[in-house]
Chains A and B, each alone.
Chain A
Amino acid sequence: DVQMTQSLSYLAASPGESVSISCKASKSISNYLAWYQQKPGEAYKLLIYSGSTLQSGTPSRFSGSGSGTDFTLTIRSLEPEDFGLYYCQQYYEKPLTFGSGTKLEIK
C-alpha cells in the first residue's frame, strides 16, 4: 500500500499569513493526489485534485504543487475560514490511502 505522510500534525498561523502543508508518498504517485479540508460540523470538502488543479469553488489563495513523492498545499493570505483539518489522498492505486492530517489553527 502507498503510505501517505503528513509530517506536521499541527500548524498555527495568523490571518493574513501564508502557510504550506506537506504530504509525502512512500512511492511515486505521479500527480494523482487530492487535498481535502474539514471544518467542524461541515462535510469534507475537496480542494485540489491532480496535485495542483483547483476544484470548482476553491478560492485562488489555495494552490497545490508537487509530483512523484512530495506534495505541498499552500494557502496564501490566510482567511479565518481556512482554519481546520487538511488531508492528502493518493489515487495512483488501490487501496486509496490518506495522510494522517494537519490541523491548522489560529495563532
Chain B
Amino acid sequence: EVQLVESGGGLVQPGRSLKLSCAASGFTFSNYYMAWVRQAPKKGLEWVATISTSGSRTYYPDSVKGRFTISRDNAKSSLYLQMNSLKSEDTATYYCARHIATRGGYFDYWGQGVMVTVSS
C-alpha cells in the first residue's frame, strides 16, 4: 500500500525558514517523480514543486521559485521541501504527492498533509 507521511509543519515567523519532510513507503521511491502541492485555508490547490527520479531536475511555479527547494533522498525514501523567506501567503496545508510525469504530470497518491502557518 502506498503511504506518504508528511512532517515538519508548524508556526513560523515571516522571513524565517522551515523544512518539510515526507516519508514514502509501499512503492519503489526512486522510480517516481515526487511533488509538493499546497492548499491555503479555504482556498484551492496550488502546485509548489516537482523533482525528478534522480533529483537532477526540479520544477517550481513563479510564486515560490528562488525561495523553496525540493530535494529527495532515495536511500531513505524521503522527500523534502526547504522553505525560505516565508511569507504570510505561504500559510497552507502542504501535501506530498507521487507525480506521474506524463506531459506536465498529475498526482496519483497524496499524503494527509501538514499545516504550515506563517505569522508573527
Contact = CB atoms under 8 A, between A and B. Distances in A.
Contact of A49 (B45, B47, B100, B110): B100
Q: What is the interface of chain B mostly: helix, strand, loop, or mixed? A: strand
Contacts of A96: 47, 104-106
B24 to A, nearest CB: 13
A43 interface: yes
A105 B102 CA distance: 32
A91 B105 contact: yes
A90 B102 CA distance: 11
> How many of chain B's residues touch chain A, expressed as a range?
20 to 34
A92 B107 CA distance: 14
Contacts of B61: 94-95
Q: What is the interface of chain A mostly: helix, strand, loop, or mixed? A: loop
A32 B44 contact: no
Nearest to B106: A34
B32 to A, nearest CB: 14
A92 B108 contact: no
B89 interface: no
Given A43-B112, A44-B95, A98 B45 contact: yes
Contacts of A43: 4, 95, 109-113
A36 B44 CA distance: 12
B90 to A, nearest CB: 16
A87 B45 contact: yes
Interface of A: 32, 34, 36, 42-46, 49-50, 55, 87, 89-101
